[in-house]
Amino acid sequence: MKEFTEKELAEYNGKNGKPAYIAYKGKVFDVSSSFLWKNGKHQVLHEAGADLTAALQQAPHGEDVFKKFPIVGILRKKETRNV
Amino acid sequence: MARVAREMVEKAGINVDQLVELLVKNAAAELTTYYYYTILRCNLIGLEGEGIKEIAEAARIEDRNHFEAIVPRIYELGGKLPEDMKIFHDMSACPPAKLPEDPTNVKEILKVLVEAERCAVRGYTHICNMTSGKDHRTYDLALAILNEEIEHESWFSEFLGEGPSGHFMRRGETSPFVSKFLK
C-alpha cells in the first residue's frame, strides 16, 4: 500500500481536477466521489489533502462515514527523534 | 446588511464569511430537498407508499419553510444567494435526495429520505455548535430547524425498522419550531 508523507498528501487537495484524499488515524481515504467533498472542500471548514484525525472529534458524525470510501494508502508521520 | 448585528457576531469570534457560506449551503440543501421530495412524494404510492406519503409531504413543506427562514439571516449577515440556480443546487450542504433506480421500492425511497434528514441533522448541529453563546440569532434559528429535522428523521427511521422514535406525525400546522421566523 502506498505510503504518503504529509507533503505528498497535501498534493491531493481535490482542486483543479486533482483527487481529494484525506487521512484519518493513519489511513488515507479517497473521498473524490463524495458530493460533500466537491472541489476538495467539506462543509466550508475542512480541506482535502490533510490529516483530519483531530478535526473529526469536533464533527457532527463518527468515523463510520469513511466506510464508503476506498483506502488508497497510509500516512507516514514525521519521525520524532529521541534526544 | 444589518451592520451592527454582523459586527456583534464577528466580535464574538465567529468567522462570519464562513458562517454565511454554511448558511447558503444549508439553504441550498433545503430548497433542493423540497424539490427532490416532491418527486419522492409523487412516487410514494400503493399499499406501502400511501402510508408514508403524508409525512413525506410534511417534511417537504417544512424544508421549504427552513429555506424561507434561513434566507433573511444570510442577508442580515452581509451574504447573498448565488444568482445562478444551478450553482446554488451544486453547492448544497447535502447530496441530492434523488429517486432511487427502482421508484417502486418504497424501502429504498425511505432510505433516501432518512439519509437526507440525517445530513440535515448533522449540518444544523454543526451550526448550533459553532454559534452557541456567540451568535444568538443564528443559533436560535438553527436550533429551531434542528428540532424539526430530528423529528423528520424519527418519522422515517421508524418505517425502516429502527425501533420506536417516540414521535407522532404533525397535528395541525407545519413547522411548530420554525414558524416564529416566518411571521
Domains of chain A: 3-75 (3.10.120.10)
Give Cα separations from A53 to A6, A58, B39 (angstroms).
Answer: 13, 10, 38
In single-letter form, the type of residue at position B78 comes to: G
pLDDT tops 80 at residue A77: no
Mean pLDDT of A6-28: 95
Confidence at residue B140, expressed as pLDDT on a 0 to 100 scale: 98
Q: Measured between alpha carbons, how far is B5 from B76 in angstroms, rounded to an integer?
A: 7
Q: Which three cell numbers stand for residue A57?
A: 472529534
d(CA A61, CA B73): 26
Average pLDDT over chain B, rounded to whole? 95
Asked if B122 has any chain A CB less than 8 Å from its own CB, the reply is yes
Q: Does A59 touch chain B (CB under 8 A)?
A: yes
Please give the DSSP secondary-structure letter assigned to residue B99: P
Give yes or no for residue B145 having a pLDDT over 90: yes
d(CA A9, CA A76) in angstroms, rounded, equals 10
CA distance B22 to B131: 12
User: Which 8-state DSSP code applies to residue B102?
Assistant: S
> Under a CB-based contact definition with an 8 Å cutoff, are residues B65 and B33 in contact?
no
Per DSSP (E only), the strands in B8-141 are none
Mutating which of B122, B129, B145 best tests the A interface, going by the most A Cβ atoms within 10 A? B122
Per-residue model confidence (pLDDT) at position B1: 84
Q: Using CA atoms, how far apart are residues B29 and B39, in angstroms rounded to an integer? A: 15
State the average pLDDT for chain A: 90
Inform me whether the C-beta atom of residue A38 falls under 8 Å from chain B C-beta atoms: yes
> Is residue A60 within 8 angstroms of chain B, CB to CB?
yes
Q: Which triple of cell numbers denotes residue A59?
A: 464533527
pLDDT at A1: 86
Q: What backbone torsions phi and psi does residue B158 show, to the nearest 5 degrees?
A: -60, -40
Partners of residue B129 in chain A, C-beta under 8 Å: 58, 60
Q: Confidence band (pLDDT; 50, 70, 90) for B27? A: very high
Chain B residue whose CA is closest to A46: B18
Q: What is the pLDDT of residue B165?
A: 86
Q: How confident is the model at residue B54 (pLDDT cuts 50, 70, 90)?
A: very high
Q: Do B126 and A59 touch (CB under 8 A)?
A: yes
The fold of the B3-181 domain, in CATH, is: Ferritin (1.20.1260)
Contacts of B90 in chain A (CB under 8 A): 38
The full length of chain A comes to: 83
Q: Name the pairing type of β-strands A27-30 and A46-47.
A: unpaired
Contact B22 A38 (CB under 8 A): no
CB–CB of B25 and A44 under 8 A? yes
**pLDDT at res. A29:** 97
Whole-number pLDDT of residue A79: 58
pLDDT for the residue numbered B169: 84
Interchain contact, A43 vs B96, CB within 8 Å = no
Mean pLDDT value across residues A39-57: 93
**Residue reference for cell 480541506:** A47
| A39 CB-contact burial (10 Å; exposed 0-12 / middle 13-18 / buried 19+) | middle
- What's the average model confidence in pLDDT over A8-14? 96
List chain B domain ranges: 3-181
Q: How far apart are CA B34 and CA B43, in angstroms?
A: 15
What pLDDT, on the 0 to 100 scale, is given for residue A82? Answer: 56
Phi, psi of A55 (to 5 degrees): -65, -30
Q: What is the mean pLDDT of residues B162-176?
A: 89
Q: Among A46-50, A59-63, B92-96, B138-142, name the one with the lowest average pLDDT.
A: A59-63
Nearest to B155 by CA among B103, B117, B119: B117
pTM: 0.90
Confidence of residue B67 (pLDDT cuts 50, 70, 90): very high
This model of the complex carries an ipTM of 0.76
Q: B47 to chain A, minimum CA–CA distance in Å?
A: 33
Q: Which of A42, A44, A45, A67 to mutate to test the interface with B (most CBs of B within 10 A)?
A: A44
Judge whether residue A57 has pLDDT over 80: yes
Per-residue confidence (pLDDT) for residue B170, from 0 to 100: 87
Over residues A54-80, mean pLDDT:
87
Residues of B in contact with A36 (CB under 8 A): 93-95
User: Mean of the pLDDT values across residues B92-120?
Assistant: 96
Q: What pLDDT does A80 receive?
A: 54
